[in-house]
Amino acid sequence: MTEVILEPDLPIVDPHHHLWDLRPLMGAFPEPRHDFLEAIAGAAYYTFDELHADTHSGHNIVATVFMECGAFYDASRGEALKSVGEVEFVNGVAAQGASGLYGNYRPCAAIVGHADLTLGDAVKPVVEALIAAGNGRFCGIRHAAAWDADPEVLGPPFHAPQGLYGSDTFRAGFAAYADYGLTFDAWLLEPQLGDVLELAKAFPDQQIVLDHCGTPLNIASYRGKLHERFDAWRHSIHAIADCPNVSVKLGGLAMAFCGLPEDGPAKGYGSEHLAALWRPYVDTCIDAFGPDRAMFESNYPVDRWGASYAVLWNAFKRLAQGASPDEKRALFSGTAARIYGIEHLLD
């Protein structure tokens, strides 16, 4: 699907994308593969060249934030420290972009890595190694907690322990991590949103970013239930928004888990169709959090399930058509730049 780019000069900081090479792993998953794996099969290799092509498809992407995804771990470091390898790899990509060979565009200007917070105080040397590996770009971690009683919801790739964010071991590690003043990205599913609420209340000084609008579900036993579960999702979003230390990412709705659209991948829907599908969720999040605590995200390459990069950002721009210029600046660049510490790139 090719579209005319809307508002091509609007500066964008994409606060959520991955880099990976999943090709060695794709054969390890059982057939038939989960919808999520089918969605990313066409993007099993997504590194600098692919990111560069997508971010130069017409929109004014000035910088991006890398989000951990378990890629390029360093097996030689041992279990606790192997995630440092991912940050080292991504920092190299960031240095490539910062060379000036690609203009003023700054890919991976901020890096969110992973550390196992169930380590308790022992997570501190891991965090310090991640900071060192980031060379000034490392800004936080994500420790995903996605879980559901129905194993078909998440499929083989994801199985966090039930109630992870409320466990004593996680909370001990979270308290140790809070000393560093970094961000924390939370990914879990709509039925689990109460876990983020309780975590945010317990640690009111810790910046938390809720990924993917809280991940409403339209898959497996939840298929066809988006409408009946919407009010519960909306109530949870408003309750979380009452915590001033939480921000929200507007995106991820094209994931196979959310099923918006349901019949991915890459069926060629236009931005008007996608904006209509996503509007109830995006509008609710913006109303609850406000533009200064909300940011549009690509979640690429996962959201290829629903849209090309260019069409996806067109859909977001359609959703923001009623916003003021200041509100648009916040939603498309300002909020992300502030939270992830790269405001200087917008000067």
> Average pLDDT, stretch 71-77?
95
Distance from C-alpha of 265 to C-alpha of 300, rounded to nearest angstrom: 13
Q: What is the CATH number of the domain that holds 244?
A: 3.20.20.140
**Digit-coded pLDDT (tens) for 142-192:** 999 999 999 899 987 677 999 999 999 999 999 999 999 999 999 999 999
User: What is the pTM for the complete model shown?
Assistant: 0.96
Please choose, from the candidates 113, 41, 71, the residue with its C-alpha nearest in 3D space to the C-alpha of residue 301.
41
> 3-class DSSP state for residue 326?
helix
**Digit-coded pLDDT (tens) for 39-54:** 666 678 899 999 999 9
Structure tokens at 332: 């498309």
Q: So what's the pLDDT on residue 32?
A: 58
Q: Is there a domain that residue 346 lies in?
A: no
Give yes or no for residue 223 having a pLDDT over 90.
Answer: yes
Q: Is there a domain that residue 75 lies in?
A: yes
Long-range contact pairs involving 169-172 (C-beta distance under 8 Å, separation at least 24): 169/117, 169/118, 169/120, 170/117, 170/118, 170/143, 171/202, 172/120, 172/121
Q: Is there a domain that residue 4 lies in?
A: no
Q: Is there a domain that residue 332 lies in?
A: yes
Asked if residues 165 and 186 have their Cβ atoms less than 8 Å apart, the reply is yes
Tell me the pLDDT band of 23, cut-offs 50, 70 and 90.
Answer: confident
Q: Which residues, 6+ apart, have CB-to-CB distance to 322 below 8 Å?
A: none
Distance from C-alpha of 299 to C-alpha of 202, rounded to nearest angstrom: 28
Distance from C-alpha of 157 to C-alpha of 39, rounded to nearest angstrom: 13
Distance from C-alpha of 158 to C-alpha of 144, rounded to nearest angstrom: 9
Q: Is there a domain that residue 2 lies in?
A: no
> 3-class DSSP state for residue 16?
strand
Pairing type for strands 20-21 and 138-142 reads unpaired
- Counted domains in the chain: 1
Pairing type for strands 138-142 and 183-186 reads parallel
| Domain span holding position 194 | 11-341
Give the type of residue at 13: V
**Digit-coded pLDDT (tens) for 104-117:** 999 999 999 999 99
Q: Is there a domain that residue 221 lies in?
A: yes
Q: Is there a domain that residue 293 lies in?
A: yes
Q: So what's the pLDDT on residue 2?
A: 81
* Per-residue CA distances from 42 to 36, 104, 128, 149 (Å): 11, 29, 35, 29
Q: If you count them, how many residues does the chain have?
A: 347
Q: Is there a domain that residue 347 lies in?
A: no
- DSSP assignments along 54-70, one per residue: HHTSSSEEEEEEEE--S
**Digit-coded pLDDT (tens) for 283-327:** 999 999 999 999 999 999 999 888 899 999 999 999 999 999 999
